[in-house]
Each structure stands twice: as structure tokens, then as C-alpha cells.
Amino acid sequence: MSRAGGAGAPGVDPEQLWLSSARPRRGRKPAYSREAITAAAVALADAEGLEAVTMRKVAARVGAGAMSLYSYAPDKETLLELMVDHVSGELPTTNTLTGDWRADLKAIARLQRAHMLRHPWLPAALATRRVPGPNTLAFLEHALAALRPTGLDGAAKLEVFAQLTAFVAGHVAHEIARTAASQSPDRAAAEARYLAAVAADGRHPELAEALAAPGRPLTPEATFTRFLNRLIDGLDTD
Amino acid sequence: MSRAGGAGAPGVDPEQLWLSSARPRRGRKPAYSREAITAAAVALADAEGLEAVTMRKVAARVGAGAMSLYSYAPDKETLLELMVDHVSGELPTTNTLTGDWRADLKAIARLQRAHMLRHPWLPAALATRRVPGPNTLAFLEHALAALRPTGLDGAAKLEVFAQLTAFVAGHVAHEIARTAASQSPDRAAAEARYLAAVAADGRHPELAEALAAPGRPLTPEATFTRFLNRLIDGLDTD
DNA sequence: CTCAATATCCGTACGATGTACGAGAATAGA
DNA sequence: TCTATTCTCGTACATCGTACGGATATTGAG
């Protein structure tokens, strides 16, 4: 809990952060909790986006002074780690495996996508590497269990999961950006005019053709499914 | 060039940004150039990371006052767009297609990976949606040409390219994070001890096994190749 | 009970950031 | 020369993360 004993230069010692639990027996009792502060930060990010998560605003949400947060997390970066692990607690970790590892893996990816759409700040927060917290590790354990029938070795299983998560995050990030863009009609119209102008300049024949063709709408859901299936069906077990 | 005529609320009008070229015939001559400022920002990001790119530092690099930058880009967000498009100019756009679209697509992805490793801030900068500038569009045109033999319709070709780029960005982001983590021995050791402790708690048997198994080292290069091949070989042309 | 030790709470303050504002300087047509 | 236009950039402000340290609460020691 205390600020004393901070770790080295970059980031925070994961052992200090995730494995220390004993309440100090001396000193004032905490008025808040890491849980409550993290939840407030998550609620703020859900409602107003990641850039709205400032120490002052989070503190205001829990009714604390800004500097009080530093008794619960050594810095803002760490608060972000706490947030990521906090929402990872929403993911299921048991009793959902069928034994068909491809189907299980696809289900896991779908859950991750839904999860990230529910917390649109997650892809951005995952972009910088983080030390997995307990909830993240529980989910990882679940994913590794799903991969057990593949017979892949440990490192390969971890790789598959990392790549799958990166793929989902990348997809959802694009999906969110595209949705946001189309919600601003002026922006969307301006961009369409711009692209039309480029396509008309004669030096982008392929682009012109691609934009001109009608084609079916291509929902994000369908695109996600298609690429996910490609990725997973292509996985070998040797 | 002028600040006058700023666009709507979010982002910048792409037509204003990319399609206006005529120098105003009245008024003081510009002492710098958008090119030079963008190049300075890129150099700064390459050398010290994206978070080192501040208006003041970029301005200092070109020998200008901080506020002078606002004659060349309406805000910092736009400067980031300029940076992304600037480095996209390094990508080849002609005479590299063999007609074997799978091979061409793999080559394009490899170029993107090398490009992003050369500019490690790129994956993060691409995470938020941007309007493609001329260099980006030239590269897109190249990728669409590579996809021509597939016979896919326009929207599908654009989707494939977007997904491929997202995949590469996700992979490289992880690759960079992993490299950075292993460059700080204290951090790496602390994380290893933490994971070992978790694996030893009995509630993470799959993780324990995955960490215990030796397995070959798995270079990022090899992992990238493997997943890239899966993704592209799985693409259908119908 | 008293008191020292310890931990939390948080007001104040500092440096850094993005950028609004506007005064001054430079340029080109009238 | 005058005036309209454009670029330059010092100053200023709101906001950010967070260092510092005094006030406050809690507990074990004497």
C-alpha cells in the first residue's frame, strides 16, 4: 500500500503490485480501496474515453483528493494496468470448453471481441505491454486449457494466444474507429469527397475501381468471422 | 497554410490538409516548410519515441518558435498524420509485383514489418484512425494492384489490406514491447520471478506447464512468418 | 495513558504540455 | 507609399502527472 519501497526505473515491480496483500498493522486505515478506485477509472474510461482518465477526475469520482490515489497505485501507468486486469475479470474462465479446440479458440476470440467493444479503450490500453494481473492470468489459463488438445509446446501455445489477442485488438480498434468516423456525417462526407478526388486524378486506377464497385456492405462482424476462421483453421498441431 | 478556415470539430478536413497546394500570393514568405517540420518530428520520434514529440521540441529541432508550427499544421494530431504519411513514402510502390498474389502480399507484409521496426512508433500512431495521405494512398494503390489477380471485389480488397496492416501492426507492437522488456534485465527478472510464483500456486497448471517446457526459442521473425503464411494462404478468391 | 512509529489523506506547488491570443515583421499588389 | 495579407513567436492559460510535507488517524511499546 505504501509508496515506500518503489521498484526500479521503468514500470512497477509486479510482485509488489499483484502479490502483496497483508495490510500494514500500523498507521491510518485506508478510506478507499484499490478496487473502488480502479472501478471508478474503468467507469470513466467506458463513459468518456481513455483520455478522460486523469488522476483528478478519477479521484473526484471516488470522492477522494487527487493525491490520495497514490496510496493505492504508484503512478498512472500502474492504474492503467489495474484497469486492464479489472475488466479482464468479466471474461469467463471455466466450464466453457467443448474439447474441439478450434471451436473453443474461436469462441474465446469472440468473447474477447465483445469484451473490447464493451470497453472501447481496451485495444489502446493493451497496445503497450503490461504485466498480466490475476484476472488476465486466469483467462490465459483458460485459453491454454483450450489449446491443450493441440499438443503444441508451451511457448507455441503462448504465442498463439498472444497473436490471437493482438489480432482481435487490431480488428476491434479498426472497427471502433470506423464506427466513430461514420457517426460524424460531416467528417465522413469530407473524407468521401477527398477519396473521390484522389480516385479521379488518374494515378490511382486500382483505388478508383475499388471505390466504384458496389459490393455488399461487409459488416464488421462478418469480416471478423472470416479472418478469424482463416487464422484458426490454418493452425497446425505439429 | 493559414490557420484561417479551420474545419469542423473532430480532426481536420482532408481536402484542406492534402489537396491545397497553391501558395498565397500575398503575405510573408514561410521560413520553414511542412516537409522540414514533419521530418524533424519523425527524427525525434525515431530517436526518442512518440512521447518525446512535443510541439516545443519539434520546433526547437527546426529552429522555430513553438507557435510557428501552427502555420503548417492546425494541431498536434494533424502533425501525427503528416508523420505517418511522411514515412509511408519510404515504402515501394512500383515494379515489385510478380503476379503471384500470395507471394506479393507476403512481400508487402514483410516490407510493412521492416518499416514499422524502423519506426517503432508507427504501430501506436496507426492505432487511431487517420485519413490516408498521398504516400499512404500510393502504397494502398500498390497493394490493390497486388490483389488484382484475386478477382475480389473492391470492398473485399480494401478489407484484406486493412486487416493485413492491422495484423502486422499488432505483431510488431508486441515484438517491440518484448524486445524493450528484455533490454531491462531487472524488469525481466522480476517478471520471471512473478510468473514463476503464480505458476507455483497450484491454480494455474496449464501456465505452469507452458512455462516449464523448454521448447525452441521462437524468434519473432519465425513467428511472424508462420502467422503471415496462415493468414494469406487461407485467403480465398471467391 | 502516553507517546513514538507508521500509514493514509490531501492542499499546495512545480514543471511540462497543447494551444489561444495578439503584437510585430515581412511581402505583394494598388 | 499604403494596405491587405500572411507568417513568426513571446506570453499566457488551463490541464496534466506528481513531488513534497503537514495534518490526521491508527497501533504497539513503555
Q: In angstroms, rounded to a whole number, what is the distance separating the alpha carbons of residues A35 and A38?
A: 5
Residue A2 in grid coordinates = 505504501
* Cβ contact, residue pair A154, B216, below 8 Å: no
Does residue B66 sit at the A interface (CB-CB below 8 Å)? Answer: no
Does residue A157 sit at the B interface (CB-CB below 8 Å)? Answer: yes
Q: How far is the CA of A60 from the C1' of D15 (A)?
A: 15
**Residue the block writes with cell 515489385:** B96
Give backbone dihedrals phi and psi of A153, rounded to 5 degrees, phi first.
Answer: -80, 170
Helix (H, G, I), strand (E, B) or coil at A174: helix
Q: In angstroms, rounded to a whole number, what is the distance separating the alpha carbons of residues A125 and A176?
A: 14
* Shared fold status for A14-88 and A101-233: no
* Cβ contact, residue pair B131, A213, below 8 Å: no
Query: Which chain B residues touch A170 with a CB distance below 8 Å?
Result: 163, 166-167, 169-170
Q: In angstroms, rounded to a whole number, what is the distance separating the alpha carbons of residues B138 and A161?
A: 34
Helix axes A205-212, A185-199, angle to 10 degrees: 130
Distance from CA of A171 to the nearest CA of B (A): 7
Q: In angstroms, rounded to a whole number, what is the distance separating the alpha carbons of residues B237 and B102?
A: 11
Q: Enumerate residues 6+ apart whose C-beta is below 8 A from A125.
A: A50, A80, A83, A84
* Cβ contact, residue pair B174, A166, below 8 Å: yes
What is the percent of chain A with per-residue pLDDT over 70, rounded to a whole number? Answer: 94
Q: What is the pTM of this model?
A: 0.91
pLDDT per residue as tens digits for the range A92-143 = 998 789 999 999 999 999 999 999 999 999 999 998 878 999 999 999 999 9
Give the nucleotide with minimal C1' distance to the Cα of B70. C19
Q: How many helices (H) and strands (E) does chain A have?
A: 11, 0
Domain boundaries, chain A: 14-88, 101-233
Nearest-by-Cβ selection for B156 from A162, A207, A215: A215
CB-based burial label for B199 (10 Å; 0-12, 13-18, 19+)? buried
Q: In angstroms, rounded to a whole number, what is the distance separating the alpha carbons of residues B162 and B149?
A: 18
One pLDDT digit (tens) per residue for chain B, 238 residues: 443 322 233 567 888 889 887 888 899 999 999 999 999 999 999 999 999 999 999 999 999 999 999 999 999 999 999 999 999 999 999 878 999 999 999 999 999 999 999 999 999 999 887 889 999 999 999 999 999 999 999 999 999 999 999 999 989 998 998 888 787 888 888 999 999 999 999 999 999 999 987 767 789 999 999 999 988 988 876 5
pLDDT per residue as tens digits for the range A151-179 = 999 999 999 999 999 999 989 998 998 88
In CATH, what number does A101-233 get?
Answer: 1.10.357.10
**Residue the block writes with cell 486492464:** A84
Does residue B21 sit at the A interface (CB-CB below 8 Å)? Answer: no
CATH topology of domain B14-88: Arc Repressor Mutant, subunit A (1.10.10)
Whether residue A145 has pLDDT greater than 50: yes
CA A66 vs. chain centroid, Å, equals 26
